[in-house]
């Protein structure tokens, strides 16, 4: 599965915008810099994942293509005196070790190992969960699980999360009993082997194609979104909790109608605020049918209600495909994967709450291709308030960039 096929399936607006793009200069509200511009060769290309930062300030991510074998890679960016230096930690061969990590951000464990997913490759060419272990002269890769494409799921687009017990959780976009996707758990054994269990399989009515990852609440329940399906076939927000019998049970918090309340949430991950409210994005729907930012709040009876915080008009920014992040003041930050196709091809935005309950939107950065094009991943924010992210295309070689936005 190559990039063109994936874009046609997931982001049809991107293809059209790429064809009709014109270049017009614009002013930036913040200071933006390109930390690295991918060439699509051995250094990688088409970064779709968000980033993670270690204690030393190094950035880590994945690219969908490129690397030594053209099947994607895991990379590290290190700040140096004259900029940032890229190091390829691992290049996927496209075979048993995996291929084409998509929204697959990597995560660290306490020992400094990295974990992630590939959408293809593995024993059955249906995707993998992998681990990278630092060695004396580089990094060693091991496949923790290869998806078979049946009841166990296939095509894990998103990255993983750890539970406090050390188990890994993720989603597959297809497969399962009804071929509509799954939520899975990987449990480590004493012998170093990992066992996969499907804790939920989607049936269409409760959702189709979970493309994003998962998030835990304080009670140990899991939350995520499906891109399609649900009561109105426009996607859903779901919760998974463990029952008294030890089984995982699902609850639909909201089924999108495809109208003003949003549609087709790709959201890489949902995010909680300190009050337990959920926030996310939809790629479509909203007041102008160009995507929206929503919140979900639970009442005392356990029912969740949705509120649209902002609808994108598409004048300069449209179609948010990523999840959101929160700062300490309650401001939300995210990216729009599209612009208007003429003066912008994606944006970094900020949403700020007011005393009246309304949210104000501000575009921190509008991409024009030279500095990036089509940001699909969630942002990373460091302690200084700087934002870091990736774009699918654009840059010197039009193969994507890693960027920084500084307040």
Phi/psi-derived region of residue 297, left when phi > 0, alpha when psi is between -120 and 50, beta in every other case: beta
What is residue 357's predicted lDDT score, i.e. its pLDDT? 87
One digit per residue, the tens of pLDDT, for the chain of length 407 reads 555 555 544 444 444 344 333 333 343 447 899 999 999 999 999 999 999 999 999 999 999 999 999 999 999 999 999 999 999 999 999 999 999 999 999 999 999 999 999 999 999 999 999 999 999 899 999 999 999 999 999 999 999 999 999 999 999 999 999 999 999 999 999 888 999 999 999 999 999 999 999 999 999 999 999 999 999 999 999 999 999 899 999 999 999 999 999 999 998 899 999 999 999 999 999 999 999 999 999 999 999 999 999 999 999 999 999 999 999 999 999 999 999 988 899 999 999 999 888 999 999 999 999 999 999 999 999 999 999 999 999 999 999 999 999 98
SS (H, E, C) 96-141: CCCECCCECCCEECCCCCEEEEECECCCCCCCEEEEEEEECCEEEE
Complete DSSP assignment for 273-316: -TTS-EEEEESB-TTTTS-EEEEEEE-TTS-EEEEEEEE--SSS
Say how far apart CA 202 and CA 78 lie, in whole Å.
40
What is residue 195's predicted lDDT score, i.e. its pLDDT? 97
Phi/psi-derived region of residue 301, left when phi > 0, alpha when psi is between -120 and 50, beta in every other case: alpha
Say how far apart CA 212 and CA 36 lie, in whole Å.
25
What is residue 23's predicted lDDT score, i.e. its pLDDT? 34
What is residue 268's predicted lDDT score, i.e. its pLDDT? 83
pTM of the complete model: 0.93
- Side-chain-side CA neighbours of residue 250 (13 Å): 20
Say how far apart CA 150 and CA 93 lie, in whole Å.
24
Q: Which helix (H) or strand (E) holds 10?
A: helix 3-10
User: What ranges do the domains of the chain cover?
Assistant: 11-44+271-407
Say how far apart CA 202 and CA 39 lie, in whole Å.
38
State the residue for tokens 């930036």: 28
Picking from 215, 180, 183, the residue whose alpha carbon sits closest to that of residue 198 is: 183
Structure-block tokens of residue 80: 């140096």
* Beta-bridge partner residues of 353: 359
Contacts of 180 (CB under 8 A, 6+ apart): 174, 201, 202, 203, 204, 207, 208, 209, 229
Say how far apart CA 100 and CA 45 lie, in whole Å.
10
- 3-state SS class at 27: coil
């Amino acid at each position: 599965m190559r990039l063109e096929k994936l874009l046609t399936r997931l982001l049809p607006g991107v293809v059209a915008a790429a064809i009709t793009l014109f270049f017009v200069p614009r002013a930036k509200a913040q200071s933006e810099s390109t930390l690295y511009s991918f060439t699509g060769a051995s250094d990688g290309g088409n970064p779709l994942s968000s980033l993670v930062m270690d204690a030393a300030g190094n950035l880590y991510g994945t690219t969908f293509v490129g690397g030594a074998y053209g099947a994607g890679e895991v990379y590290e960016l290190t700040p140096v005196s004259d900029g940032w230096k890229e190091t390829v930690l691992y290049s996927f061969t496209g075979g048993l070790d995996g291929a084409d990590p998509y929204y697959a951000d990597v995560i660290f464990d306490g020992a400094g190992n990295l974990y992630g997913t590939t959408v293809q490759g593995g024993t059955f060419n249906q995707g993998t969960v992998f681990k990278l272990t630092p060695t004396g002269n580089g990094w060693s890769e091991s496949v923790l699980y290869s998806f078979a494409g049946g009841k166990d799921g296939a095509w894990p687009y998103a990255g993983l999360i750890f539970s406090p017990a050390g188990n890994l959780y993720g989603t597959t976009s297809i497969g399962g009993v009804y071929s509509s996707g799954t939520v899975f758990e990987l449990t480590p054994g004493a012998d170093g082997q990992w066992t996969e269990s499907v804790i939920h399989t989607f049936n269409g009515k409760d959702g189709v194609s979970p493309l994003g990852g998962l998030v835990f609440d304080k009670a140990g329940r899991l939350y995520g979104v499906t891109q399609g399906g649900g009561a109105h076939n426009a996607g859903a927000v779901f919760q998974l909790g463990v029952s008294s019998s030890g089984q995982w049970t699902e609850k639909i918090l909201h089924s999108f109608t495809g109208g003003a309340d949003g549609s087709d949430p790709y959201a890489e991950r949902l995010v909680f605020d300190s009050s337990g409210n959920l926030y996310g994005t939809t790629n479509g729907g909203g007041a102008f049918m160009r995507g929206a930012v929503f919140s979900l709040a639970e009442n005392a009876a356990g029912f969740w209600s949705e509120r649209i915080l902002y609808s994108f008009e598409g004048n300069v920014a449209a179609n948010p495909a990523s999840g959101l992040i929160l700062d300490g003041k309650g401001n939300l930050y995210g990216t729009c994967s599209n612009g208007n196709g003429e003066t912008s091809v994606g944006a970094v935005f900020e949403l700020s709450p007011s005393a009246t309950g309304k949210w104000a939107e501000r575009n921190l950065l509008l991409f024009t291709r030279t500095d990036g094009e089509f940001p699909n991943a969630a942002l990373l924010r460091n302690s200084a308030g700087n934002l870091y992210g990736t774009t699918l295309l654009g840059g010197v070689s039009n193969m994507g960039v890693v960027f920084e936005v500084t307040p």
